[in-house]
Structure 1
Amino acid sequence: MASTADRGRFAEIVVIRHGETCWNASRIVQGHLDSELNEIGRQQAVVVAGRLSKEPKFQAIYSSDLKRAAETANIIAKVCNLPEVILDPGMRERHLGDIQGLTLRDAAKLKPEAYKIFLSGKRDGEIPGGGESLDQLNERCVSCLEKIASKHQGERVIVLTHGGVLRELHKHAVSGRSSDGRIHNTSVNVFLISESGNWTIKTWGDISHLHEIGVLNNAFGGDRTSG
């Protein structure tokens, strides 16, 4: 853990993916559509909240305004005695256009153009139906986290977000290199962002708090097919 003096040079931001949802378990593309936590997701939120409550004090908690993230954040805020969750649409998952609300199998049949662009991985590929490109997502979420960091230099804060956003934050922090492996529900990821805008990843993909509950390895989202 960094000393108080060290923390004066940067914001320490604990970024957490929301708990598991019914749509994750059913492998349905969520994007900007709202889905609620399932019972496992609520248990995951309680456990990660207990973990965070034992750490040095947090000054604030922010969250995507999508229900699955906000619900996770509210559980954490209550356990960590944080007075309010600050909702920020800048931390939303990528808008996935025409494939939102479909399984990938159905999307391939019903929305083949959107499906093809989604799986292509092209950074500038905007998904039909109002979807974002990966470059647009990156610009949005990186800008949002830097604004949060600028308000909390020398402090620790929590941010609840989504798998696709976390993948882009990692890419920015390590100069364009994508994260390997899956980003699990309620994984703990710690970024240090300095006043001069330098990013460092202190912790990545930590799910040690889930050893009793476990994770759903075949759920949708958290890998390169985010959402």
Structure 2
Amino acid sequence: MSDDAVLYFTRHGESVANASDKAGVRRPADSDRLSDRGWEQARGVGRRLKGMELDLIVCSDMRRARETAAGIAEVLDLPVEVDADLREVQQSDAFEAASPHFGDTGNLNWMPDHPTDFAEPGAESFDDIVTRVHAVQERLTERASAQHFVTVSHFGFLHFFLGAVLFGEDFGPEHFKPLYNAGHANTGISIFERRRRTMDSMVFDGWSLTTWNDQAHL
């Protein structure tokens, strides 16, 4: 594995579900697709990244992420690869049943009050999500030394990725609520770097956050 790697993350474009929540109306059955605004946001990411040396777009298997990747690819003329580990955090059955009635930020408030391997019915546990994050970190880092790519994921997954970077092995459910205070807009761009560097005789070898939720293209 190379010591150096850069991962460009973007959240998917505005979905019909996102637009419905903002308008305070019930989500339609096909709400996982992008809204017209979401498609334009995706193309905006492509225009923002145009001229960069990029080889590939890697996206979650969820429809809103795949469509965002397609919008970016339309501008950049790049191949798209799907990685299911990038998908959004799986909510409980009760949350999914009620989701047409309220927002997309999720309801993981139960996490800090339970062991890390606990999950409500139908949901992922904290450990499940962090395992996915570590798998993505390892897999994409290995490739990022030879390829440059942009990754399309989701609000919840991005925050768990951020938590794993900031807190390392100390990352726990108690960090969940503070992390979610760091908003992330649809198609905001975040950049994570893996570098080995020395500062004041201290050696740093791991991931760092260099940019969070850049929206200059919106």
TM-score band, normalised by the shorter chain?
0.7 to 0.9
Q: Is the 8 A contact 1:10 1:194 kept in 2?
A: yes
Is contact 1:153-1:194 (8 Å) kept?
no
Q: Deviations 1:72-119 (Å, cap 9, x if unpaired)?
A: 01111221121x211010100011131225238579xxxxxxx9x732
Number of the residue aligned with 2:181: 180
Q: Which residue of 1 aligns with 2:212?
A: 204
**Kindly tell me: are residues 9 and 35 of structure 1, through their superposed partners in 2, closer, same or farther at Cα, counting changes over 3 Å?**
same
1:11 and 2:8 matched? no
- What are the residue-to-residue correspondences of 1:66-145 with 2, within 5 Å? 66-82=62-78, 84-98=79-93, 99-100=95-96, 102-103=98-99, 118-122=108-112, 123-128=116-121, 130-145=122-137
Where do 4+ consecutive residues of structure 1 move more than 2 Å?
25-28, 101-107, 117-125, 176-181, 193-197
- Unaligned stretches of 5+ in structure 1? 1-7, 108-114, 211-227
Q: After alignment, is 38-47 or 168-177 more displaced?
A: 168-177
The CA distance in 2 between the partners of 1:163 and 1:142, in whole Å, is 17
Offset, 1:121: 3.4
Call closer, same or farther: CA 1:106–1:81 in 2, change over 3 Å.
Answer: closer
**TM-score normalised to structure 1 length:** 0.73
Shift of residue 124, structure 1, vs aligned partner: 4.0
Distance in 2 (alpha carbons) for counterparts of 1:179 and 1:96: 15
Task: Check conservation: 1:10, 1:154, Cα contact below 8 A.
Answer: no
TM-score by length of 2: 0.76
Does the alignment pair 1:50 with 2:77?
Answer: no
Q: CA-atom RMSD, angstroms?
A: 2.9
For the pair 1:167 / 2:164, whether they are aligned, the reply is: no
What amino acid is the match of 1:95? Q
Q: Say how many residue pairs are matched.
A: 190
Instruction: Give 2:38's aligned residue.
Output: 41
